[in-house]
Structure 1
Amino acid sequence: MYNVYTGKLLTEGAALPSAAQLGLEPPRFCGQCGRRMVVQVDPVGWWGQCSRHGRVYSSEIG
């Protein structure tokens, strides 16, 4: 599994960026493969698309 904000492998104790902790930053990397995603932000949420794993919507993440 990969960190969706940095694209690096998850390790214990890895810190999240401040904007991500506040919920202001959408994920920029795929959590399954670490590839950079195409991200579109709109007033009601966001979506991100990985070339290998498809699209994820902010409404799907609780």
Structure 2
Amino acid sequence: MTRRIQMIFGATWQYLNQPLGDEYPKSIWNISHFWHLYQIQLLETCWYKDITSESHYTQ
């Protein structure tokens, strides 16, 4: 349960701290669309993460 709360808090924090203005990319105001893109970004981050930290589990 704690991990889920942290994930929701992190997503909410990123949603509320989106950069505004002309020089920044377009802000996403639809919360469901933002959540979908956040999950994709999180999956990509995990996919490209270095797996060396898991090497001691496979020995």
Q: Tell me the TM-score range normalised by the shorter chain.
A: under 0.3
Q: Highest Rg: 1 or 2? A: 2
Q: Of Structure 1 and Structure 2, which has the larger fraction of its residues in helix?
A: 2
Using the size of structure 1 for normalisation, the TM-score is 0.26
**Higher normalized contact order (CA 8 Å, seq sep 6+, divided by chain length):** 1
